[in-house]
Amino acid sequence: MKLIIKPEKGLGKVKVKLSDEIRSEIERLSERYGVSPERVIEIALTGEFRESSGELEELEVKVRELEESVWKMESEYAPLRFKAYGLSEDNRILAREVSSLIAENNQLRRFLKLPLRRDPELRKLISYYMR
């Protein structure tokens, strides 16, 4: 592989022949970091790359600790969510039963020619649990 470096201004340019080993390493770095091979060469020549500091290892340890605490909280929270879901389904079933009983009660009141009971608060509550 032949590398040609041209200055931004001027006519001078530098030609360098790269071995297959260096070319493959550049391509590997390019794929690993998701940048073009030209960008890898530019970073290497300008010294723009950064050495990893000890902070990286510390941050990885903190991330692992946070993941463990999240999974611990999730394991405590999951049964509560399951119980809440079960209770909401029970409430939905009970709301349907109450609604049918109210309708039956109104039919009996019509049959007996009694005044109908309109309870908007109860209907709001039933519609809330039916959702």
d(CA 121, CA 131): 16
pLDDT tens digits along 7-33: 777 777 777 787 888 888 888 888 888
Tell me how far apart the alpha carbons of residues 94 and 120 are, in angstroms, rounded to a whole number: 18
pLDDT given for residue 52 in this prediction: 61
Give pLDDT tens digits for 77-99: 999 999 999 999 999 999 999 99
pTM: 0.46
Task: List the chain domain ranges.
Answer: 2-46, 54-130
Residues 6+ apart with CB under 8 A from 73: none
Token pair belonging to 102: 């109210």
- The helix/strand count (H/E) of the chain reads as 4, 2
Residue 6 CB: number of other CB atoms within 10 A?
Answer: 10
The larger pLDDT score, comparing residue 58 to residue 73, is at 73
